[in-house]
């Protein structure tokens, strides 16, 4: 079978790979869609934290079951599925408490273990979601949208609450969409005006703020000086994450959705006087995937316009550098098999 390997920063190679052998408890999936995520872009650029080369990328996956044994979930050959790419141990304190998304021995497909940028992959049946009624594109984007939905659930966003989401990439957009789904008033912040305009069109945000144009003053005006009660930083940028402490209302919550391999510092008096809650939000759980699937299936999230660029599998290598350019205006690129 064919696969694409990221051999080192800036270098992909199309190779012949050995097909996976059937393992009881797992299913062999014929990959049909691969969403390209920020992790893939960072890995290609050489600045993805906790990453080693060579690696088969790809963790936003949709496909069809090629082979599966007896299983209590009722999966059968030919079922269309989405893959939960977070391989958890099931035994650590996080897993025992239902927080499989932050397992102490977490391995993510396409990051810590070879992912789905290939024709076939073997995946534990427990990490499959049946996606009957969804398109292949919709099935592939369950993963990035689930990260946003998980962050919103972590913060317990309520109807009528004012929420700020910093970072208008695919993850931030998912946070915006699910905060709106909860009935919140949503403000989007980014340094790219075109992305802010897209937030209005796609996520139906209520206000936008250019991050380089006096953001504190803008937030003060928009919220009558009260500031948002929930702030999500989805940038993965240390400076943005540091600045985000200034945007939270007294008694509010700050959620770091993005990851940066760096120290984040803050002024303790400012933090303390707000009695601020600081949270990390990592990955998503199976229940988040199931929630997102239902929201997408009922048409309450516009999955079609979320995908802005696409390429056939064998042409992806030639397109990847273009997807990195800001002028290409990529929101979500999709690879088709």
296 domain-assigned = no
Cα–Cα dist 264/239, whole Å: 8
Q: Give the pLDDT confidence score for residue 298 in this predicted structure.
A: 92
Q: Give the pLDDT confidence score for residue 208 in this predicted structure.
A: 98
Q: What value does the mean pLDDT take over residues 5-24?
A: 95
- The answer, yes or no, to whether residue 50 has pLDDT greater than 80, is no
Domain of residue 236, residue span: 148-280
Closest CA to 259 of 159, 147, 184, 154: 147
Q: Give the pLDDT confidence score for residue 121 in this predicted structure.
A: 98
What is the CATH classification number for the domain harbouring 111? 3.90.180.10
- Under the banding of pLDDT at 50, 70 and 90, the label for residue 5 is very high
Q: Give the pLDDT confidence score for residue 327 in this predicted structure.
A: 87
289 domain-assigned = no
70 domain-assigned = yes
Tens of pLDDT, residue by residue over 54-93, are 999 999 999 999 999 999 999 999 999 999 999 999 999 9
Tens of pLDDT, residue by residue over 127-146, are 999 999 999 999 999 999 99
Tens of pLDDT, residue by residue over 161-183, are 999 999 999 999 999 999 999 99
Do 162 and 106 share a domain, yes or no? no
- Under the banding of pLDDT at 50, 70 and 90, the label for residue 96 is very high
Cα–Cα dist 295/152, whole Å: 14
- The answer, yes or no, to whether residue 226 has pLDDT greater than 90, is yes
- The answer, yes or no, to whether residue 48 has pLDDT greater than 80, is no
Cα–Cα dist 231/162, whole Å: 9
Pair of tokens at residue 72: 């209590």
**How long, in residues, is the chain?**
337
Do 132 and 21 share a domain, yes or no? yes
- Under the banding of pLDDT at 50, 70 and 90, the label for residue 262 is confident
Q: What DSSP designation does 161 have?
A: -
The mean of the pLDDT values for the chain is: 95
Do 157 and 260 share a domain, yes or no? yes
Pair of tokens at residue 57: 């990328």
Do 66 and 175 share a domain, yes or no? no
| CB neighbour list of residue 138: distance below 8 Å, 6 or more residues apart | 131, 296, 297, 303
Do 54 and 129 share a domain, yes or no? yes
Do 84 and 190 share a domain, yes or no? no
Share of the chain above pLDDT 70, in %: 100
Closest CA to 145 of 169, 164, 173: 173
Do 152 and 108 share a domain, yes or no? no
Q: Give the pLDDT confidence score for residue 301 in this predicted structure.
A: 87
Q: What value does the mean pLDDT take over residues 36-47?
A: 87
pTM score, whole prediction: 0.95
Q: Give the pLDDT confidence score for residue 258 in this predicted structure.
A: 93
Do 41 and 62 share a domain, yes or no? yes
Do 134 and 225 share a domain, yes or no? no
- Under the banding of pLDDT at 50, 70 and 90, the label for residue 47 is confident
**Least confident interval from 35-49, 226-240, 258-272, 319-333:** 35-49
Do 85 and 122 share a domain, yes or no? yes
Look at the chain and report how many structural domains it folds into. 2
- The answer, yes or no, to whether residue 51 has pLDDT greater than 90, is no
């Amino acid at each position: 079978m064919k696969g694409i390997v990221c051999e080192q920063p800036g270098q992909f190679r199309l190779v012949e790979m050995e097909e996976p052998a059937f393992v009881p408890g797992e299913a062999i999936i014929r990959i049909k869609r691969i969403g390209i995520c920020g992790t893939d872009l960072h890995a290609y650029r050489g600045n993805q934290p906790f990453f080693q080369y060579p690696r088969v990328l790809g963790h936003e996956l949709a496909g069809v079951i090629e082979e599966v044994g007896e299983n209590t979930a009722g999966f059968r050959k030919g079922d269309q599925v989405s893959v939960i790419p977070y391989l958890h141990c099931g035994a650590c304190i996080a897993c025992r408490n239902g927080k499989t998304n932050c397992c102490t021995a977490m391995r993510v497909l396409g990051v810590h273990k070879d992912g789905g940028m290939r024709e076939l992959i073997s995946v534990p049946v427990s990490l499959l979601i049946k996606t009957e009624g969804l398109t292949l594109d919709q099935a592939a984007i369950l993963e990035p949208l689930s990260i946003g939905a998980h962050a919103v659930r972590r913060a317990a966003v309520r109807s009528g609450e004012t929420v700020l989401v910093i970072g208008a990439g695919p993850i931030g957009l998912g946070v915006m969409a699910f905060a709106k789904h909860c009935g919140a008033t949503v403000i989007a912040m980014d340094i790219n005006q075109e992305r802010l305009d897209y937030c209005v069109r796609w996520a139906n945000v209520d206000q936008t703020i250019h991050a380089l144009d006096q953001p504190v003053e803008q937030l003060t005006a928009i919220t009558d000086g009260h500031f948002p009660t929930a702030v999500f930083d989805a940038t993965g940028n240390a400076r943005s994450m540091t600045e985000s402490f200034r945007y939270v209302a007294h008694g509010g919550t700050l959620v770091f959705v993005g990851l940066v391999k760096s120290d984040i510092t803050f002024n303790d008096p400012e933090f303390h006087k707000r009695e601020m809650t600081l949270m990390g939000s990592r990955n998503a759980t199976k229940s988040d995937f199931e929630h997102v699937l239902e929201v997408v299936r009922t048409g309450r999230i516009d999955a079609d316009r979320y995908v802005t660029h696409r390429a056939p599998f064998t042409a992806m290598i030639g397109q990847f550098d273009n997807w990195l350019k800001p002028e290409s205006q990529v929101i979500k690129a999709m690879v088709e098999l």
